[in-house]
A = this chain, B = another copy of it.
Amino acid sequence: MAKQNTVFKDAYNRCLKLLADTSSLPSEPELGQMLGVSRTTVRAILSRFEELQLIAWDKRKKSVLRQPRPDDYFPTEETDSLAEIIERSFMRRILAGGAEPGMQINELELAREIGTGTTSVREFLIRFSRFGLIEKRPNSHWILKGFTREFALELTEVREMFELRSAARFVSLPDDHSAWAELTQIEALHREILADIDSRYREFSELDEKFHLLVHKASSNRFIVDFYDIIAIVFHYHYQWNKTNARERNARALEEHLAYIEALRSHDPGKAEQACRRHLQSARETLLQSIP
C-alpha cells in the first residue's frame, strides 16, 4: 500500500450526494472544482459510478440512472486521511489521560499501535511539535511535555496578547470589509443555538472556533492567525473528552460572545477590549479548572 485512496473515497461520497439532486452531472473540470480534487480523481469516481450502474457515461453526457442507496457510500472510517487518524489517536492518548509529562514517545511503537508506517507518524510528530506539547531529542526519542497547568497558562498568555490586538484591529476594519458580514452570520447562529440551548449546546465548540478565528484574522498577521491553530486543537480535543457542565459552560460563553460581538460592532476600542478581556478571562478559568 503506497498511498491511501481516502481522497477518492471521500470525494466519491460527496459526489454521491450531489448525484442525488440532479439528473445529470456537470463537466469533469467543474466537478473537480466542486469537490476540490483533480480531474484524475473525478474520472475515477465517474468510472466507479458507471460500474455500479449509477450513471450512464458517454463523454460529455453523464445521466443519472438511479438514486444512490446507503450501501453505495464508503464507510466513513475509510474516508479519514491517515493524518487525521494519527492525530486523533495521539490526542486521545495525551489528553484523555494515562500519559504522564516526561514520558518518552516511541515512533515505532506508536506506528504499530495505530497500524501505520513510521514515516507518517514521524511527520505527524514533526508537525505537531509546534504545539509545544512534545519535544525532540535528536537521534533519540520524543518527550511528552504534557497538557499541564503551565502549558495552559503559557498558551492563554499568548492567546490573550494576540486576541486583544486582533480585536483592536477588528473595530477599525472598514464597514465594507467582509468580516462584518461574517460576524452578522455568526451572531445569528449564536442566537439560534442559545434559543434552543438544551438540545443544541454541542454545536458551540465549532461555532466558538469560527468566531475566534474570524477575530484573529482581523490581525492580518500570519503568525497570529497560525497560532490560533494551537488554541483550536487544544480546545477541540479538550472539550471532546471533558464534558462536565458543558451545557451551562457553553451557554455562558455564548452570552459572552454576544456581548463581545456587540462591543466589536460599536467600533469603540475601549468597549471591545473590555468585552474581549472578560471573555478570555472566563475561557482561561474554564480551561484551568479542567486540568487536574
Is the pair B132, A223 in contact by a Cβ cutoff of 8 Å? Answer: yes
- Which of B119, B127, B154, B221 makes the CB contact (< 8 A) with A157? B221
**List of B residues within 8 angstroms of A139 by Cβ:** 7
Question: Mostly helix, strand, loop or mixed at chain A's interface?
Answer: helix
Chain B CB within 8 A of A109 CB: no
For chain A, the count of residues having a C-beta within 8 Å of the partner chain is 24
Is the pair B158, A221 in contact by a Cβ cutoff of 8 Å? Answer: yes
As a 0/1 sequence over residues 219 to 231 of chain A, the CB contacts with chain B under 8 angstroms (1 = contact) are 0111110110010
Chain B CB within 8 A of A130 CB: yes
User: Contacts A7-B139, A119-B119 given: A158-B126 contact, CB under 8 Å?
Assistant: no
Bound together, the chains give a CA A223 to CA B221 distance in angstroms of 16
The distance from the CB of A134 to the nearest CB of chain B, in whole angstroms, is: 11
- Which of B123, B220, B221 makes the CB contact (< 8 A) with A126? B123
Which A residues lie at the B interface, using CB under 8 A? 7, 119, 122-123, 126-127, 130, 132, 139, 151, 154-155, 157-158, 161, 165, 220-224, 226-227, 230
